Chains A and B, each alone.
Chain A
Amino acid sequence: MAKNYKRPESLVDVATHYCAGCGHGILHRIVAEVIDELGVREKTIAIAPVGCAVSAYDYWQFDCAEAAHGRALAVATAIKRVQPDKVVFTYQGDGDLAAIGTAETIHAANRGENLTVIFVNNAVYGMTGGQMAPTTLADQKTATTPAGRDVKKEGFPLKISEMLVLLDGVYSVERTSLSTPAGVLVTKKAIKGAFENQIQGKGFSIVEVLSMCPTYWDKSPADSARWIEEVLSQYFKLGKLK
């Protein structure tokens, strides 16, 4: 007997600004599904990043704060400390969380803030036109590494999730991908777990989600998904890291 598949209540019925095949759309739906399934919409407060998902609040039916670029986890820390009974999560891109916001990320994690962090890794800066991100792979061409990222000059793709595993304050770290139907289901399970951790007061839970960016990978959506399978997830290994 087939299940019903329909738009989750917490997801506003409106067209999004995301490009065709962008992973954000799938992930926004997953977050809304999880919030509905946990029945916490009226207690949820999201913190949106600066990046493609800067206006995520146009798509979710719960309270949301916009944070300065990189500062989402500082904003979230305060909101959660002031309202420990609320479900507080940040939704951040790789630039927001692992470039300008690195200090906020490491210190919120190290303080073991009881927060859920959704970290969208698409290996480029989308909103601003496809520049190199901290997670851009070696030799990957971007607007600011036209000849490909040169590790001798631009350093290596940053394994921020692996770094966070080392911090005692961190409760769970998982990396998943949106590149296949199975990956989408695993992503949903991981995100639901990360929210449940917070609700049970377990502490800092982060899910890094490898996400397609067809526009700035210069690939079709399907080829972008394949690129995650064959290349991106070979460097950023999927699975439960902590």
Chain B
Amino acid sequence: MAKIKINKKRCKGCQLCIVYCPKKNIKVAKDLNELGIFPAEIHAEEECTGCGICFLMCPDVCIEIEGE
């Protein structure tokens, strides 16, 4: 099961990861980050298949995934 990490501090809230995640497993966080935007946040870690589509689409390399 892949381990996904989202750097909420650096996320600019473009939401491309949210739109393209095939599992719809990324959502908008409730709390603002330092940039004053609602960053992306993983919905259910165990659901993540580690496909990396979110990584491909993230313009700010906020997402890192460790495979098994």
Contact = CB atoms under 8 A, between A and B. Distances in A.
A185 B68 contact: no
Contact of B59 (A2, A25, A185): A25
A5 B55 CA distance: 7
A3 B61 CA distance: 16
Contacts of A26: 56-59
B14 A20 contact: yes
Interface string A1-23: 11111110001000110111111
A134 interface: no
Contacts of A221: 14-16
Contacts of A21: 12, 14-16, 59
A21 B60 CA distance: 9
Interface residues of B, number: 28
A144 interface: no
B32 interface: no
B40 to A, nearest CB: 11
B46 interface: no
A180 B2 CA distance: 22
A3 B15 CA distance: 22
Given A214-B14, A221-B15, A2 B2 contact: yes
A15 B61 CA distance: 9
A19 B58 CA distance: 12
Interface string A222-242: 100100000000000000000
A184 interface: yes
A222 B16 contact: yes
B27 to A, nearest CB: 14
A226 to B, nearest CB: 9
B49 A2 contact: yes
A220 interface: yes
B16 A29 contact: no
Given A5-B55, A18-B59, A222 B65 contact: no
A150 B48 CA distance: 48
Given A4-B65, A5-B65, A23-B59, 7 more contacts: A3-B65, A5-B63, A6-B66, A15-B60, A20-B13, A21-B59, A220-B15
Closest 8 A/B residue pairs (Cβ)? A2-B50, A25-B59, A21-B14, A20-B12, A2-B67, A5-B55, A2-B2, A20-B14
Interface of B: 2, 10, 12-16, 19-20, 37, 49-53, 55-61, 63-68
